[in-house]
Structure 1
């Protein structure tokens, strides 16, 4: 018999915090989700491209094995919570600067056991008729998914609430309270909420919260730019990634482009890059004239020096748990389950390093 059910507070309603809350709630945990934004995915999650894949990883890397586990977890999620991926589009087409490089990419992932296929340019042109110049070859990654990260986070939260979780938005956490070396609660404005376990899934905000306790979690940030373009009609059928462009189309026909970002002056600001990218898109794709840039948002992705996420209790404070890392959208269902197993069952995973 369970004599004491711990009160768990999850800080951050991005994709990781939402997935963790969902997994805790469906197992009957007493969990409260907090976020300073007005709704789930108000931060970096809402500025994510939403490409679920392993094709962008490198076989043999530790992160590649982790991504494969994460993709398998999406299959479990599809069965358990089908509405979470109901609007996702399947499949991506990738090509490199030369045909030889594209063939090497296909061979690399085929030998790793992935479901990829090398397509001739004539097939690519048939599948994507708006491509102005189809590559000689492209790699078709069949099991990739393109989904809306904000919609996924929202589904996690809605389902968690239905299972008994509590949520509180528009509440900035001022500090994590401790007593005798263990978590006692959190301070939100003038209110202190009691907690036995605090899960910090606030992305780069982890630095501020853990830093208030004198803990350096070594979380850094990697800025990425998400560009959105209004479009009224279907233009592409898959995620397309070539040497000049990485683009997908959402269910409402919005075109989304992902780019790395370095802030180095107004001439390379987000909107300027967005307009230049539209010129590239028009060169690569036969676009309707009315396609226009609607937003250019930078998201600071939380990363660690080795490229791997971190998951687990911090040794400095009993009951303080950290979940962070990139790519959060790919890893979220897996991290959500692993976190619930560790907190509720004491079962520690070997897949993801512990924070220090």
Structure 2
């Protein structure tokens, strides 16, 4: 019997957790290195699962494939907590809504126009109801930290080592081959290393001379104290995207990723939360609990970087915004590529080499 491939995954957010789960499920010897379970960017995610507006068709198809991956994950890990609650959207012009409906409908997305009465029936607590909106019933949400931790626990049950509190300091290499990771716990040797460390991936890649063209724009998300059920699904209104979490918190951003709060983060959070309260009936008792500012790892062309690094053997990269939507697809495809040593065709558009 062949010896299991020894893979070190750097990062325990939603992407690193998915990669670890899929590797361990296929028999790899996995070690996860991370500051903490659940990662750094993942707790600040809006956690919307979608193949939504503004994407070219090839990326829409990949996101739709990833959405199907969440259905698969829910069967593999039944308590992972996916909620296919659907969305209501009116955060664009009527012309853009028409384009969105026509184009995405042609691609097979379950999108339809609804009127004011439909919106009020779906979300009776809304105080501001649009005359026209779009309904996408197949979209959903997941509680991202809990989902990541469930995948990590699944990987651990299949033999993975989880090293929390171990900061990765650099890549180890011999010639053009990556041989492991230097950490605060010491050197970890590996047959293969995966960088899934979000905003920190670029710094680690640079230690081996690999440049990741990634930006890290900040995004503000406000979190209410737990409250009674007030939202049934995702509400994507102009300048305010919101949903209610499994524990009853209403979370919101100026858009799904949150926007730069500027220098006075508390003031920006207070303004955003005031807007949230005005959108809901009977919200006098709704209180801000805390806010997060997440630094979203975003490749400069807006599309994910996924796959083996062509210039270095033994190294793969998985860095992206929209990590929650894409996590199941990235974990499955990248783990297959690593363990088979054969390129996955679906990852072709997302390789680092496209940047030259």
Q: Which runs of 5+ in 1 are unaligned?
A: none
CA offset at residue 312 of structure 1? Answer: 1.8
Deviates more, 1:95-104 or 1:275-284: 95-104
Query: 1:131: which partner in 2?
Result: 126
- 1:57–1:63 CA contact under 8 A, matched in 2: no
Query: 2:7: which partner in 1?
Result: 8
CA offset at residue 24 of structure 1? Answer: 0.4
Instruction: Tell me the distance in 2 between the aligned counterparts of 1:288 and 1:183.
Output: 54
Instruction: Tell me the distance in 1 between the aligned counterparts of 2:198 and 2:93.
Output: 37
Query: 1:348: which partner in 2?
Result: 343
Q: Spell out, residue by residue over 1:22-69, the C-alpha distance to the aligned partner (whole angstroms, 9 max, x if none).
A: 0000111111011022x223x0011000100112343x4432222111
- 2:84–2:138 CA contact under 8 A, matched in 1: no
Alignment equivalent of 2:329, drawn from 322, 329, 334: 334
Instruction: Tell me the distance in 1 between the aligned counterparts of 2:128 and 2:7.
Output: 54
Instruction: Tell me the distance in 2 between the aligned counterparts of 1:190 and 1:134.
Output: 54
- 2:305–2:318 CA contact under 8 A, matched in 1: yes
Please give the root-mean-square deviation of Cα atoms over the aligned residues, in Å: 1.8
Q: Spell out, residue by residue over 1:69-114, the C-alpha distance to the aligned partner (whole angstroms, 9 max, x if none).
A: 111212222222221135x251111114555554443333222211
Q: Spell out, residue by residue over 1:126-179, the C-alpha distance to the aligned partner (whole angstroms, 9 max, x if none).
A: 221111131112211011111111111011001111111111100101221112
Q: Which runs of 5+ in 2 are unaligned?
A: none
**16 and 190 in structure 1: CA distance in 2 versus 1, 3 angstrom threshold:** closer
**190 and 97 in structure 1: CA distance in 2 versus 1, 3 angstrom threshold:** closer
- 2:217–2:260 CA contact under 8 A, matched in 1: no
Alignment equivalent of 1:53, drawn from 42, 50, 73: 50
**215 and 157 in structure 1: CA distance in 2 versus 1, 3 angstrom threshold:** same
Query: 2:41: which partner in 1?
Result: 44
Instruction: Tell me the distance in 1 between the aligned counterparts of 2:250 and 2:175.
Output: 52
Query: 1:75: which partner in 2?
Result: 71
The count of corresponding residues between Structure 1 and Structure 2 is 348
**105 and 83 in structure 1: CA distance in 2 versus 1, 3 angstrom threshold:** same
TM-score by length of 2: 0.92
The list of structure 1 runs, each at least 4 consecutive aligned residues, that deviate by more than 4 angstroms after superposition, is 97-101
